[in-house]
């Protein structure tokens, strides 16, 4: 007989109303924490987060006389158009409301990503609720998923890796529930699984390795022909969405996944960004995670694969990880989809350890120190962010109320608005998304040409800015210039914690100089 207080919730089915209130409070606090990160967190982890989504959305929002300033991937038509389409829709909404700014659009995208991440995490929690076993482990699942600095940082970033990670989590959560209980309609359940699998591939083609393992798991352990029949229209619908958004983006019909395979794998353009040894992910993941979390995550993942060989999560993640070890070009961000399973993997691992390890004063001290360190990292992320955003805000403030502002740099001199691309062809790639409407970037072939152009523009009444990696450019040029001061760190950090002037390092090679207007000629 069911207990009168034993009611079902959308996210979980707790044993009593007290547990339900506890989990609800944790989820509410975690949601507010994620909201804070979405609104305050600035910048991006990797340039692809900017150039493969935001720049494309800016092109569709405002157009351009030429697309030569875009990365080589655009001209090869090898990046999916689904996420740029979402950013374009939100940008159009902000423009219609008269609220558009690049910073507002990024905040809205981060908020959308945070909400999606919270939903995925709660669905996974609901799916593994009984498997976690005790209320203590369930609470820790939510603590890790909602408050761990790595998790909350990833949750709010609108990137292909994060979207694929969330979709894989939803796919795994729904599959775990279907494997334990018979659904009312296997065909409709199959359509949902197919839609999730197709969208995962549509946003991140590398996730196809995880989907291949998932398909093999279905054939081995969950042979439901009605479910398979329902997955077919779901997958086709998702692929049709991807195909249509790709056509919207590139203006012609093209098979973008094949273009990606041809350029990055068959032509090996991906390896031009660097080739790393097979052990790269062991050493680099430990270094970027501060060693402790990385070691725990590696141990938990390996343990889960050994102890749960028939789990769909194992069949998803194992081929995904293995194939990335085989590829020559390696980056830690390629494994970010795996981190979305971190609460499940870590708590499953902790449940297998002797419980005496978690008793006593030493364990409480260790948890307190870890929680304090995690809080410090979160404060640092929120207080600093990437230097790019601080620089762009400074330029926006400088350009406000002025006429045309022309920025000059030398071809090949990397700055926060452009970089020299060496893959396929040598050209300058520009970041137009953050440029004010009265701001124009112009490249010079040599320092002499730059000075000559600066004089001509200043004489014609335009405001000229020089972008240079030389922190002493004012002493090395014949132009009359004034260095524009900026810093990504808040004033309180620079005032109270700037020991040995360490806050100068992010800006020492990213300088902007205002060209002073020439004095008017004296009357004869």
- 462 burial (CB, 10 Å; 0-12 / 13-18 / 19+) is middle
Q: Each residue of 21-57: pLDDT tens digit? A: 899 999 999 999 999 999 888 778 888 889 999 999 9
- Of residues 522, 411, 403, the one with CA closest to residue 460: 403
pLDDT band at 9 (very low <50, low <70, confident <90, very high): very low
Q: Each residue of 436-486: pLDDT tens digit? A: 999 999 999 999 999 999 999 999 888 999 999 888 898 888 899 999 988
CA distance readout (Å), 461 to 401, 407, 488, 518: 15, 14, 31, 9
Cα 379 to Cα 139: distance, rounded to the nearest angstrom: 23
pLDDT band at 425 (very low <50, low <70, confident <90, very high): confident
pLDDT at 521: 40
CB 463 within 8 A of CB 473: no
pLDDT at 274: 85
pLDDT band at 501 (very low <50, low <70, confident <90, very high): confident
Q: Each residue of 330-367: pLDDT tens digit? A: 999 999 999 999 999 999 998 888 777 777 777 888 88
Question: Using CA atoms in the order 279, 282, 284, 290, what is the torsion angle rounded to 10 degrees?
Answer: -160
CA distance readout (Å), 262 to 157, 161, 269: 28, 21, 9
Q: Whole-model pTM?
A: 0.90
Cα 217 to Cα 398: distance, rounded to the nearest angstrom: 57
Q: Each residue of 155-182: pLDDT tens digit? A: 999 999 999 999 999 999 999 998 877 7
SS3 per-residue string spanning 360-422: CHHHHHHHHHHHHHHHHHHHHHHHCCCHHHHHHHHHHHHHCCCCCEEEEEECCCCECCEEEEC
Mean pLDDT for all residues in the chain: 88
Q: Please give the share of the chain, as a percent, with pLDDT higher than 90.
A: 60
Is the confidence at residue 2, as pLDDT, over 70? no
CB 117 within 8 A of CB 162: yes
pLDDT at 5: 39
Cα 305 to Cα 281: distance, rounded to the nearest angstrom: 17
- 323 burial (CB, 10 Å; 0-12 / 13-18 / 19+) is middle
Is the confidence at residue 212, as pLDDT, over 90? yes
Is the confidence at residue 3, as pLDDT, over 50? no
pLDDT at 51: 92
Query: Can you read off the two tokens belonging to residue 364?
Result: 């409480």
CA distance readout (Å), 125 to 12, 15, 141, 308: 7, 15, 8, 18
Query: Which residues, at least 6 apart from 108, have a Cβ–Cβ distance to it below 8 Å?
Result: 90, 94
Output DSSP code: residue 515: E
pLDDT at 36: 92
The lowest-confidence range among 46-55, 121-130, 504-513 is 504-513
Cα 51 to Cα 109: distance, rounded to the nearest angstrom: 15
Under DSSP, is residue 354 helix (H, G, I), strand (E, B) or coil?
Answer: coil
CB 489 within 8 A of CB 391: no
Is the confidence at residue 414, as pLDDT, over 60? yes
The lowest-confidence range among 27-31, 230-234, 250-254, 483-487 is 483-487
> What number is the average pLDDT over the span 484-513?
82
């Amino acid at each position: 007989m069911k207990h009168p207080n034993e009611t079902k919730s959308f996210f979980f089915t707790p044993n009593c109303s007290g547990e339900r209130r506890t989990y609800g409070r944790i989820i509410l606090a975690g949601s507010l924490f994620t909201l804070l990160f979405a609104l305050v967190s600035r910048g991006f982890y990797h340039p692809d987060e900017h150039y493969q989504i935001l720049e494309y959305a800016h092109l569709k929002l405002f157009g351009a006389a030429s697309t030569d300033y875009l990365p080589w991937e655009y001209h090869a038509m090898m990046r999916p158009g689904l996420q740029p389409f979402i950013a374009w829709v939100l940008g159009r909404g902000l423009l219609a409301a008269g609220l558009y700014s690049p910073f507002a659009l990024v905040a809205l995208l981060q908020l959308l990503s945070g909400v999606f991440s919270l939903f995925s995490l709660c669905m996974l929690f609901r799916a593994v609720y009984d498997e976690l076993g005790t209320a203590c482990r369930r609470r820790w699942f939510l603590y890790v998923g909602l408050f761990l600095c790595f998790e909350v940082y990833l949750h709010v970033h609108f990137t292909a890796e994060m979207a694929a990670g969330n979709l894989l989590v939803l796919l795994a959560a729904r599959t775990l529930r279907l494997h334990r209980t018979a659904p009312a309609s296997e065909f409709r359940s199959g359509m949902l699984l197919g839609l999730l699998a197709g969208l995962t591939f549509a946003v991140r083609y590398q996730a196809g390795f995880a989907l291949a393992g998932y398909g093999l798991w279905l054939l081995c352990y969950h042979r439901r022909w009605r479910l398979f029949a329902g997955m077919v229209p779901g997958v086709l619908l998702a692929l049709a969405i991807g195909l249509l958004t790709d056509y919207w983006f590139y203006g012609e019909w093209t098979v973008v996944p094949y273009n990606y395979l041809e350029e990055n794998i068959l032509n090996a353009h991906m390896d031009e960004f660097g080739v790393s040894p097979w052990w790269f992910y062991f050493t680099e993941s430990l270094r970027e995670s501060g060693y402790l979390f990385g070691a725990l995550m590696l141990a938990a993942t390996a343990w889960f694969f050994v102890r749960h060989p028939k789990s769909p999560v194992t069949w998803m993640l194992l081929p995904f990880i293995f194939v990335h070890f085989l590829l020559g070009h390696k980056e830690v961000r390629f494994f970010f989809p795996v981190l979305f399973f971190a609460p499940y993997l870590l708590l499953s691992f902790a449940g297998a350890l002797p419980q005496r390890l978690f008793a006593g004063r030493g364990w409480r001290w260790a948890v307190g120190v870890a929680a304090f360190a995690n809080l410090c990292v979160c404060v640092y992320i929120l207080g600093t962010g990437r230097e790019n955003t601080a620089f762009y805000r400074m330029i926006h403030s400088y350009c406000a109320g002025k006429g045309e502002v022309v920025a000059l740099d030398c071809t090949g001199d990397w700055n926060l608005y452009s970089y020299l691309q060496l893959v396929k062809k040598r050209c300058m790639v520009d970041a137009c998304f953050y440029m004010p409407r009265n701001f124009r970037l112009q490249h010079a072939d040599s320092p002499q040409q730059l000075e000559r152009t600066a004089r001509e523009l200043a004489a014609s009444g335009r405001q000229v800015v020089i972008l240079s990696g030389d922190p002493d450019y004012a002493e090395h040029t014949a132009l009359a210039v004034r260095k524009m001061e900026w810093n990504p760190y808040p004033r309180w950090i620079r005032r109270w914690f700037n020991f040995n002037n360490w806050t100068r390092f992010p800006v020492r090679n990213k300088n902007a100089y205002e060209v002073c207007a020439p004095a008017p000629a004296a009357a004869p």
